[in-house]
Amino acid sequence: MHERTILTLSELEKSIWFRNVGVKDTDKAIILSSWDEAIKHCSEPNWEDLCLEATNRFSELILRKSKERYNKWNEIVEDIKENTISLVKSKIEHIVKKNHLPSILEDTVQWDILHLCIESEFADIVEPGFYASQAYWYVAGHFPCGWMGDFPDGKLIIF
């Protein structure tokens, strides 16, 4: 794993995730007021499609710029997963239990953190973007969980 990815994981480890859920501390995003709303938004097909599209576009850029590196995609992902799975589980366990949250929360967070690290691993080829911006909100104590409007116009939805 690249040093920048290790540093990214370290920053995520040090931060307190979800400490500001529901806190109206920014005008850069739409802020939800409950876990029920957050789960509803992160489960919506439009949000899932947007996240998948961001991943597909990123991988296409990698392929265009370096077929050699693109061919290592699966190997890199497997290496990253060894670190992200345990990190996410440790960061969300208490929130899931306390709020009786469904597995979609863990699935969403696992996806976000894995893809943040993938962006980091390939940052020398393609500038990180969508998932790096998601990471900002995790570190700030929020949960990014949706989009209002037609991307890239519109606003991120966070809890």
pTM of the predicted structure, to 2 decimals: 0.95
* Average of per-residue pLDDT values in the chain: 97
Q: Quick one: pLDDT at residue 99?
A: 97
Q: Measured between alpha carbons, how far is 64 from 119 in angstroms, rounded to an integer?
A: 15
Distance from C-alpha of 29 to C-alpha of 157, rounded to nearest angstrom: 6
| Residue-level pLDDT at 94 | 96
Long-range contacts of 40-45, Cβ-Cβ distance < 8 Å, separation of 24 or more? 41/145, 41/146, 41/157, 41/159, 42/104, 42/105, 42/108, 42/143, 42/145, 42/146, 43/104, 44/146
pLDDT tens-digit series, residues 95-141: 999 999 999 999 999 999 999 999 999 999 999 999 999 999 999 99
For the chain, residues with pLDDT lower than 70 are none
